[in-house]
């Protein structure tokens, strides 16, 4: 009879549990950034983010009122920023979600209704719109060899930015007719509950293939479609 493997103590560390509670790398990065701002705001001691998280978890378990007061202080400060039009209501909600997840993973019992009551409402829709052809032309003129692959792929497939975290080259295949690539088939969120497939244009397939060839020539691993999200770079401004 096979014995059940008992998790090591290190695996029950609140920070490790928090990080592993999120599957998507981009979500993980955003949540870590938010809790880092919270820990810095309340002045929790620690040289690293992990140390600050463990110190907060340790004290929060002993004194839940202290933890609640620190969270409320941070949330009230963010609410003031909303009133000053510095941030949106959705930003405060996202901060709260990140802190709540950490507290849940750290087994800190917080009465969240005391925090979420009175929070500003975030929009249930985004101020997004389809980019015009002129704006797409401006995007692909950005001086980076990766930008065309990103723009052509996202414009023709309709995928979200977070889908890049799951994409592998094995999830892409060309669709040919008479020896010519007429489209590409893409599996999005492969292996996840919300997996689906979509298609990309011949131009997108060509640019992705060129990027892969460049990566291979550079000696880089080509299991993942490793295209950094340069559209998040502060040096790059997307036309409004």
Let me know whether 109 and 175 are in one domain.
Answer: no
Same domain, 72 and 167: no
Of 96, 102, 127, 101, the closest CA to residue 114 belongs to 96
Q: Which of 82, 116, 150 is the last residue of a domain?
A: 116
- Of 83, 116, 149, which one is at a domain's C-terminal end? 116
d(CA 173, CA 180) in angstroms, rounded, equals: 13
- Residue 39 sits in the same domain as residue 98: yes
What DSSP string describes 29-70?
HHHHHHHHHHHHHHT---SSHHHHHHHHHHHHHH-HHHHHHH
Residue 209 placed within a domain: yes
What pLDDT digit, counting tens, does each position of 169-216 carry? 889 999 999 999 999 999 988 877 788 999 999 999 999 988 888 888
Does 237 map to a domain? no
Domain enclosing residue 34, as ranges: 9-116
Model pLDDT for residues 55-86, shown as the tens digit of each residue: 999 999 999 999 999 999 999 999 988 888 88
pLDDT at 12 over 90: no
Any bridge partners for residue 177, and if so which? 180
Q: Is residue 226 part of a domain?
A: yes
Tokens standing for 67?
């933890």
The pTM is what? 0.59
State the pLDDT at residue 237: 41
For 15-28, how does the pLDDT look when each residue is reduced to its tens digit (9 = 90+)?
999 998 887 777 88
Residue indicated by tokens 């994409």:
167
Residue 67 domain-assigned (yes or no): yes
Measure Cα distances from 88 to 40, 84, 123, 237 in Å.
21, 10, 9, 20
**Contact in structure between 136 and 155 (CB atoms under 8 Å):** yes
Sequence-distant (6+) residues with CB within 8 A of 129 are none
My answer on whether 98 and 156 are in the same domain is: no
| Number of independent structural domains in the chain | 2
* 112 plus 152 within the same structural domain: no
DSSP result, 175-217: EEETTEEEEEEEEESTTSTT-EEEEE-HHHHHHHHHHHHHHHH
Domain boundary among 88, 116, 144: 116
Give tens-digit pLDDT for 92-129: 888 999 999 999 999 999 988 888 887 776 555 555 67
Does 193 fall in a domain?
yes
């Amino acid at each position: 009879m096979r014995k059940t493997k008992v998790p090591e103590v290190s695996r029950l560390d609140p920070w490790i549990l928090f990080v592993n509670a999120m599957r998507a790398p981009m979500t993980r990065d955003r949540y870590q950034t938010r809790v880092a701002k919270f820990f810095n705001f309340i002045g929790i001691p620690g040289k690293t983010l992990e140390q600050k998280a463990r110190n907060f978890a340790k004290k929060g378990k002993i004194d839940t009122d202290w933890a609640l007061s620190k969270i409320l202080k941070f949330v009230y400060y963010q609410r003031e920023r909303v009133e000053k039009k510095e941030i949106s209501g959705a930003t405060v909600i996202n901060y709260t979600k990140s802190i709540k997840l950490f507290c849940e993973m750290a087994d800190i019992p917080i009465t969240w209704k005391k925090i979420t009551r009175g929070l500003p409402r975030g929009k249930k829709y985004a101020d997004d719109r389809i980019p015009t052809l002129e704006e797409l032309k401006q995007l692909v003129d950005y001086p980076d060899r990766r930008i065309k692959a990103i723009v052509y792929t996202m414009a023709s497939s309709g995928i979200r930015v977070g889908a890049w975290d799951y994409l592998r080259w094995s999830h892409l295949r060309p669709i040919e007719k008479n020896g010519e690539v007429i489209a590409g088939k893409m599996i999005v969120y492969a292996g996840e509950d919300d997996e689906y497939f979509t298609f990309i244009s011949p131009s997108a397939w060509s640019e992705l293939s060129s990027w892969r060839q460049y990566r291979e020539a550079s000696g880089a691993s080509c299991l993942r479609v490793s295209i950094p999200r340069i559209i998040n770079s502060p040096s790059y401004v997307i036309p409004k």
